[in-house]
Structure 1
Amino acid sequence: MLYIGPHISTSKGMYMATKDAISISANTFQFFTRNPRGSKAKELNLEDMAKCKVLMEENNFGPLLAHAPYTLNMSSASESTREFAKMVFEDDLNRMEYIPCNLYNFHPGSHVGQGAERGIELIAQILNEVLKEGHTTTVLLELMSGKGTEIGIVFEEVKEIIDRVKLNDKLGICLDTCHIYSAGYDIVNNLDGVIEELDKIIGLDRLKAIHLNDSKNPLGSKKDRHETIGQGHIGLKAILNIMTHPKLKHIPFFLETPNELEGHREEIEMIRKALKIQ
């Protein structure tokens, strides 16, 4: 089963977001847990969640992917910024227990000049404080492109964070095709090699979601500029190779391309047609 969907607004509720996904032949989607540039979260509507769950089951949905706001930076040099990140993260994990979804993705953050080692230490510290035995959600660290002072641009950095977290059975990773290509991993000409390296360093068992994006910039550019599928430096052929790779094809794919709903419909139709999937 191919699970593919876009990022969809849940401003009208999870049920309507699910209906929007179905309208474009998607069978999963990603959503922000709250304002992506702020901290405010809507009150949970448990009736809406229940309707959403039924609709997902009726339409054979794969797991949804919740995305933390961009304002989180666990590795900041500012104590108040780290406290804000901890507060939001902890609140999101509690809210996730009521949402029909078991994956929560976040950007590791930027060390803002402190050095990657210090940033990794701070991220692990907060994760150790907020992760609880009772949580059913798998928290995903997203692999990054390398712009500025980002953490998580090489597999080793993500592995080091995971190793420092006591409850790391609750941790996984999200691979973003644009990010890792921009970071220097050649998924166009050496996909098998990249997968082998990822498995050796982090473990493929931790890969729970893939952000499916083309890239406006070439390999190793260290720039986070997503492009519509087939219109960038990665290209449609390489994207399809990723989606059909025997070690990746069971992972849910989430479009983060510069498109609205209709554009995502076209991308999904193009991919399904190319893969000969209805």
Structure 2
Amino acid sequence: MIIGSHLSIAKGFSNASKEAIQIGANTFQFFTRNPRGGKAKALDLDDIKKVKSIMKENDFGPLLAHAPYTMNPASYKGNVWEFAKMAFRDDLDRLETIPCSLYNFHPGSHTGKGVEYGIDRISQLLNEVLTGEESTWILLEAMSGKGTEIGRNFEELRAIIDKVEHSDKIGVCIDTCHIYSAGYDIVNDLDGVLNKFDEIIGLDRLKAIHLNDSKMPFGSNKDRHEKLGEGTIGLEAIINIINHPRLKDLPFFLETPNELEGYKKEIEIIIEKREG
């Protein structure tokens, strides 16, 4: 099983990988730059050599890079959109050096311009940035649907993919809290949700899962993550997700409101409950 959590790389990738091992993980997610800003630390090539060695020795799965929250590829504002394009291109360039094959980003918000406009802006950015030579999967994150978010349903994610020239580089990251809040009943009808995903997007494009419980009720369109088993999704449904034959081989990343010790306990529970 490939399981990890979100970890800070402020002290380097090798330190984050050691923290992952301490909590029983064999992967981790990290922000590519300040999540509430835009600055990115210079890459430490010696540290990257160390993390590559640690990952190999400990049989790590793929790392997941997460774009900053300040990046809004759907924005109508020129400076906001240009920042998103700059950060996106720079992140992809840097990821060719880092041992990381997955790059996840929030599709963004149209801020009143309409879903179709937002989808066009996102796909335009992707078409201006992607060369088709990237070794990284670019993952659209499925969102909860709060406000004017794009990506509140599988159809919107598919619409973006269809407009991207190098669509063979585009995948999806499902967040359990997000899609439950968006109205996909992964508690009572997980098979139905996966069938719908497969029909609209294709399960071959599902490359990672953010594993979270939810503080908010089903269909609330609110993005409020909770610790596993302490929210409205519940531990039984979470275990059904990690054991589902169509999902069990994917990398899972915890984004629960925890510190390291809390992540460690959640990973222990997941491993204990995992079948096979």
- Shorter-chain TM-score tier: over 0.9
1:102, distance to aligned residue in structure 2 (A): 0.5
Equivalent position of 2:28 in the other structure: 29
**1:38 and 2:37 matched:** yes
Equivalent position of 1:156 in the other structure: 155
1:275, distance to aligned residue in structure 2 (A): 2.3
Residue identity opposite 1:34 in structure 2: R
* Identical aligned residues as a percent: 65
Q: Distance in 1 between matches of 2:273 and 2:160?
A: 38
Equivalent position of 2:134 in the other structure: 135
1:77, distance to aligned residue in structure 2 (A): 1.8
Task: Please give the residue correspondences for 1:125-274 in structure 2 after superposition, counting only pairs within 5 Å.
Answer: 125-274=124-273
CA deviations on 1:39-61 (whole Å, 9 max, x unpaired) are 10000111111110110011011
1:134, distance to aligned residue in structure 2 (A): 2.0
CA deviations on 1:5-55 (whole Å, 9 max, x unpaired) are 110000010001000000010001000001000110000111111110110
Residue identity opposite 1:134 in structure 2: E
Q: Distance in 2 between matches of 1:92 and 1:160?
A: 24
Q: Distance in 1 between matches of 2:129 and 2:272?
A: 43
What SS does the corresponding residue of 2:49 show, helix, strand or coil?
A: helix
What SS does the corresponding residue of 2:100 show, helix, strand or coil?
A: coil
What SS does the corresponding residue of 2:27 show, helix, strand or coil?
A: coil
1:103, distance to aligned residue in structure 2 (A): 0.3
Equivalent position of 2:16 in the other structure: 17
Q: Distance in 1 between matches of 2:141 and 2:76?
A: 20
Equivalent position of 2:72 in the other structure: 73
Equivalent position of 1:57 in the other structure: 56
1:274, distance to aligned residue in structure 2 (A): 2.1
Residue identity opposite 1:78 in structure 2: K
What SS does the corresponding residue of 2:188 show, helix, strand or coil?
A: coil
The answer for unaligned runs of 5 or more in structure 2 is none
Q: Distance in 2 between matches of 1:221 and 1:266?
A: 28
What SS does the corresponding residue of 2:210 show, helix, strand or coil?
A: strand
Q: Distance in 2 between matches of 1:135 and 1:272?
A: 33
Residue identity opposite 1:145 in structure 2: S
What SS does the corresponding residue of 2:195 show, helix, strand or coil?
A: helix
What SS does the corresponding residue of 2:103 show, helix, strand or coil?
A: strand
Q: Distance in 2 between matches of 1:273 and 1:249?
A: 14
* TM-score using structure 1 length: 0.98
CA deviations on 1:139-193 (whole Å, 9 max, x unpaired) are 0000000100000001000000000000011110000000000000000000000
Equivalent position of 1:120 in the other structure: 119
**1:6 and 2:10 matched:** no
1:133, distance to aligned residue in structure 2 (A): 2.4
1:276, distance to aligned residue in structure 2 (A): 6.3
Counterpart contact for 2:3–2:27, Cα < 8 Å: yes
Counterpart contact for 2:242–2:274, Cα < 8 Å: no
Q: Distance in 2 between matches of 1:80 and 1:157?
A: 24
Q: Distance in 2 between matches of 1:276 and 1:88?
A: 40
Counterpart contact for 2:243–2:275, Cα < 8 Å: no
Q: Distance in 2 between matches of 1:177 and 1:39?
A: 27
What SS does the corresponding residue of 2:265 show, helix, strand or coil?
A: helix
Q: Distance in 2 between matches of 1:275 and 1:152?
A: 30
What SS does the corresponding residue of 1:29 show, helix, strand or coil?
A: strand
Q: Distance in 2 between matches of 1:124 and 1:67?
A: 19
Q: Distance in 2 between matches of 1:134 and 1:191?
A: 35
Q: Distance in 2 between matches of 1:160 and 1:274?
A: 36
Q: Distance in 2 between matches of 1:56 and 1:125?
A: 35
What SS does the corresponding residue of 1:211 show, helix, strand or coil?
A: strand
Residue-pair matches, total:
276
